[in-house]
Every structure is written in structure tokens, then in C-alpha cells.
Amino acid sequence: MAKHKGRGWHGRLFAAALGVTVVAAATSVWTAQADITGGREPQARVSVPDVRPVAVDIAHASDRGARGVNITIDDGPDPVWTPQVLQLLKDSGVKATFCMVGTQAQAHPDLVKAVVADGHRLCDHTVSHDTAMDTQSEAYQSKQILDAERMITKASGGVRPQYYRAPGGAFTPYSRQLAASRGMRPLGWNVDTKDFERPGAAAMVATVKSEIANGPTVLFHDAGGERSQTLAALREILPWLKQQGYSFGFPVR
């Protein structure tokens, strides 16, 4: 799994992340309605069932089997690019997994709800996308993962993320165990289109065509910069994958 270097545009989000309430225990019951501000507990809390733990190992396989493909979209939602990605996926009849940054989800709850309404799945991509997560304390990792879970769940109207993807692949045994205990399967990737670097749509398409035999989970982005190349690549690669006999599913849990 490739690891992206540097914090990039997400470094600007860290200041906002510091204001998010610290969550002390991984076994706490989160609710979409809970909103802790100023250190005070909300006056009303709505109970939800405890989550069911999932496997701690990093998932790559597809629930559609050997000929399945998992399209994963990272770093959003973004008000410019996410609606365009959603429309393209809808036109193509493809479902995807959206790995959302907590502060982005909090800022654009309408887009989180739109992702859910279209039948896609949610993934926790931490509060501020710190690619040095694996060098940080367990308390820091816990805050990044659990605060993002709460933010995404609240923005979605109560739909919890089913996966956790460490920024840049910076997993640790602790972060995997914590996410799994919250019902979020750690999620890797097999094919990195490197669309974050904007190498051109043709290069992205060529990467998918040459590397899809390595495994089914393909990495794209819908935020963090100008994403027209990503859209162009998706328009070409989705029908090509169908022509090759692949079907689209979700990562195993």
C-alpha cells in the first residue's frame, strides 16, 4: 500500500479539529443527535444499539467476489466535486465507498446525506487527514478516529461509517483495533490512481487497467484540489471495467 507524503491541504483543517470534543472511550455509544459544546453534556440523548465489532485486519477484497471492484472516493465531501462524482456514479449505475474527512462532513452535511441517499457507503477518514497518524499517541489517534465517526454520523442523519481508512495508509495496531471495536473495518486499497497528483486522466486509466489484477479496491479523490481529471478517468474506466466482466461492490466487512 502506497503512503502519501505530507499533510497537504488537510493540514489547514487541524486547527478546526482541536475544537472537537475529546472522546475518552472506544466503547462509548455515539448518537447522531449528540452535540457536545463548551464542555457541557446535551440535555437530551437518544440511545442507539451498541455497535458490533468487525475484523481488525485491513480489508481489500470485494463483497462481489473475485470479479468485484470496489470504487473508493477519499477526502470529501467537497461542494464542487462531490456532486459531480455522485452524478457520474448514478449515471453509470455504480455504488462506491466515500472515505470522508470529519471537518468536511461537518461543513457539508447535505452532501453526506446525498451520498447515503444514493446508496453509497461511508468511511471514517479521521478529523484532519494527518498522514503522520502512525507516529502519534494513542490518545491522538483515538480523538481523530472517534471524533470523525461522530461528525460523519451526525452529518449523515444517523448513518454510521462502516469502514476506517487511515490517511495515507498510516494504520497502527491500536487504530485498527479501535476502529474495528466501533464496527468500522480497516480499509486499504490495491490500486492507487495517484489522482491527487493530477497526472492526467490517461495515466489514471492506464494505472487501473494495469493494476486491477492486483486486487479490487481502487483509490480516487473527490476533494483536496481540482478533480476534473478524476471525473474524466472515471468516465472512461467504469465502462471499461464492466466490459471486462467486473461488477461493482463494497469492501468486505
**221 is an active site residue:** yes
Q: Can you tell me the distance from the alpha carbon of 96 to that of 109, in angstroms, rounded to the nearest whole number?
A: 18
* Contact assessment for residue 166 and residue 129, using Cβ atoms and an 8 Å cutoff: no
* Contact assessment for residue 81 and residue 210, using Cβ atoms and an 8 Å cutoff: no
From the candidates 4, 125, 129, 221, which is the catalytic residue? 221
Q: Which three cell numbers, joined as nine digits, stand for 2?
A: 502506497
From the candidates 4, 74, 147, 192, which is the catalytic residue? 74
Residue 66 buriedness (CB in 10 A; 0-12 / 13-18 / 19+): exposed
**60 is an active site residue:** no
DSSP bridge partners of 123: 99, 163
* Contact assessment for residue 124 and residue 161, using Cβ atoms and an 8 Å cutoff: yes
DSSP bridge partners of 248: 69
| Residues noted as catalytic | 74, 221
